[in-house]
Amino acid sequence: MTNSETKATLSFSDGSPSLEMPIYKGSIGPDVIDIRKLYGSTGMFTYDPGFMSTAACNSSITYIDGDKGELLYRGYPIEQLAVNGGDFLETCYLLLNGELPNAAEKANFVSTVTRHTMVHEQMQFFFRGFRRDAHPMSVLVGTVGALASFYHDSLDINDEHHREVSAIRLIAKMPTLVAMAYKYSIGQPFVYPRNDLSYSANFMHMMFSTPCEEYKVNEVLVRALDRILILHADHEQNASTSTVRLAGSSGANPFACIAAGIACLWGPAHGGANEAALSMLEEIGSVDNIPEFIAQVKDKNSGVKLMGFGHRVYKNYDPRAKLMRETCYEVLNELGLQDDPLFKLAMELERIALEDEYFVSRKLYPNVDFYSGIVQRALGIPTALFTGIFALARTVGWISQWKEMISDPEQKIGRPRQLFVGSPRRDVPPMDKR
Ligand code: SDX
């Protein structure tokens, strides 16, 4: 972060003294105006619901150019990492450490993560408290937060080693917990992780194998899942990442912070959109019904949104959506489902929307969630678990951002203010005067 030669000057039409504020430049992307002295100098706050124009921190992890439709993890384009880059654990190493691992660093990282995939045997008893039909995200919020009750040896957030160990434990155990939530929901026994399988193959094994027969891993499907995890790994200061940072700013332990992130991701405007997008496609049912559905979306009173479309930052195509569509195509081909009606419906809906002035004028394009439900369904993942897979992938982004925040000398507890529009001071009347 460097000081710009240009300053920002705030002047007032009532002749109040103007205020000069420094401008900082990042390495790429928009500059920022440092308003930290604003309240002390003017007695006023800025007003920015939804943080449309607010940079809450400085970060070197992920950069998004919404106009170009560009997404970089530590400077590397997502399309290179997801297509001809390495696997998800390489991306995890990159997000956590800032550089891609060499062969020895990767081998060590994979070995460390692999040996943390089991959860404490007592964890299974938490599951018994849930209804079998509980939404997996409710189970994950509970069980990930409960990890803190087992790992007292890595909760000192000011100890770098504790931060490292907690990050590894969370990345390693999320697949196990997501698979346990699935097995519990279908009444099948939990499957222990296997150290001889890759991260994504191990997850598929814990999800779909049973004690009754040998589970054969399909490497094409494993590669597809690995790419889905890479595409979802991090995304700058989105709602759930900001939740993790805000929770972490109070000194809360990393397991509690990630549980807070999972809770926020669950929302249909955020990570819950992949589940909602698939339900939307199933509700539309056929290409013939698209015009009627589009008309509903345009009718503001309907409250109907085109789920999987639109984005706060991307005002161009979400680069992840293109890669997700390609992955969808590969998986459906591998499974002989290339004529999958929902995939054809999704592509036709995308074509029609991208030719429609309503969507074009609002710069609404498919986002990462538009195709992810179709490919996850083809992989055998139940709709209710789609957002759980998103949380599994995003855990590395959350914990990388949390680590960056904890070690940032500028970080303070997050405590926004407000514009108060309620009642001025008044006295409590006696009951007979109310
Ligand atoms: C994710 O932040 C991230 O980075 C998130 C994420 C990540 O990786 O962490 O990328 C993951 O959350 C992707 C987004 C998934 N959500 C959805 O697909 C849900 C549907 N999308 C919308 O809810 C919406 O697009 C948001 C929430 C994603 C963005 O909302 P904004 O930026 O607040 O934009 P807006 O609601 O102000 O929309 C601007 C206009 C409005 O119309 P007007 O008032 O100008 O007439 O576009 C319309 C909106 O009504 N609009 C849509 C729409 N999205 C916006 N209209 C129909 N369908 C939509 N999907």
Reported as a single tens digit per residue, the pLDDT across 385-413 is 999 999 999 999 999 999 999 999 888 99
- Give me the pLDDT at residue 155, please: 80
Question: Is a pLDDT exceeding 90 seen at residue 146?
Answer: yes
What integer is the mean pLDDT of 182-205? 97
pLDDT in tens, 4-23: 999 999 999 999 999 999 99
pLDDT in tens, 35-56: 999 999 999 999 999 999 999 9
Q: How far is CA 8 from CA 20, 33, 53, 91, in A?
A: 6, 7, 15, 38
- Give me the pLDDT at residue 238, please: 97
- Give me the pLDDT at residue 39, please: 96
pLDDT tier for residue 95 given thresholds of 50, 70 and 90:
very high
Rounded to 5 degrees, what angle do the CA atoms 190, 192, 198 make?
125
pLDDT tier for residue 143 given thresholds of 50, 70 and 90:
very high
Tokens of 428: 């409590």
What integer is the mean pLDDT of 137-147? 97
pLDDT in tens, 327-347: 989 999 999 988 888 889 998
Considering the chain, what is the average pLDDT of its residues?
94
- Whether 205 sits among the annotated catalytic residues: the reply is no
The residue type at 22: P
Q: Would the CB of 306 count as within 6 Å of ligand 1?
A: yes
Contact 207, 182 (CB under 8 A): yes
Query: Which ligand 1 atom lies nearest to the CA of residue 309?
Result: 60
Tokens of 341: 């009606």
pLDDT in tens, 68-92: 999 999 999 999 999 877 999 999 9
Task: Give the β-pairing of 76-77 and 2-10.
Answer: unpaired
- Give me the pLDDT at residue 15, please: 93
Question: Is a pLDDT exceeding 80 seen at residue 96?
Answer: yes
Question: Is a pLDDT exceeding 90 seen at residue 228?
Answer: yes
- Give me the pLDDT at residue 154, please: 74
Closest residue (by CA) to atom 49 of ligand 1?
362
- Give me the pLDDT at residue 339, please: 86
Which of 215, 218, 146, 207 has the alpha carbon at shortest distance from 181?
207
Q: Give the whole-number percent of the chain exceeding pLDDT 70.
A: 100
- Give me the pLDDT at residue 157, please: 86
Q: Would the CB of 310 count as within 6 Å of ligand 1?
A: yes
- Give me the pLDDT at residue 83, please: 87
- Give me the pLDDT at residue 84, please: 78
369, 408, 427, 432: the active-site residue: 369
- CA 277: distance to chain centroid? 16
Residue 365 CA to ligand 1 centre (angstroms):
10
Query: Which ligand 1 atom lies nearest to the CA of residue 240?
Result: 9
Residues sharing a CB contact under 8 Å with residue 118, sequence separation 6 or more, in sequence order: 173, 176, 192, 193
pLDDT tier for residue 151 given thresholds of 50, 70 and 90:
confident
Closest residue (by CA) to atom 34 of ligand 1?
312
